[in-house]
Amino acid sequence: MSQILHEFLRPQPTGGTIVTFHKDSDVATQRQALVRSAGEGVRSLSGGPGRSAEMSDDAPAFHLEDVGIGVISEHVDAQRSAGILSGEESVVEARPEFWLFAIQDFQDTADRTWGIAATGAETSQFTGAGIKLAVLDTGLDFEHPDFTGRNLVQQSFVTGQLAQDVQGHGTHCCGTAAGREVSQGVPRYGVAPEVHLHVGKVLNDSGSGRERDIINGMIWAIQQGCAVISMSLGRRVRQGEGPSAAYERVGELALDSGSLIIAAAGNDSARQFGFIAPVGAPANSKSIMAVAALDENLKIADFSCGEINAGGGEVDIAGPGVNVLSSVPRPQLYDVKSGTSMACPHVAGIAALLAQSDANLRGKALWTALTDSAKALSAPASDVGAGLAQAPQGAPDEGYGKTPVA
Active site residues: 137, 169, 341
- 58-66 — which CB contacts under 8 Å span 24+ positions? 61/34, 61/35, 61/37, 62/212, 63/27, 63/30, 63/31, 63/34, 64/215, 64/216, 64/219, 65/27, 65/30, 66/219, 66/223, 66/253
Residues 6+ apart with CB under 8 A from 406: 130, 131, 132, 225, 226, 227, 258, 355, 359, 362
Burial 61-71 (b: 16+ CB within 10 A, else e): bbbbebbbbbb
**Rg, C-alpha atoms of the chain:** 20
Quickly count: other Cβ atoms within 10 Å of residue 264's Cβ: 34
Q: Are 60 and 72 in contact (CB under 8 A)?
A: yes
Helix (H) and strand (E) counts in the chain: 10, 17
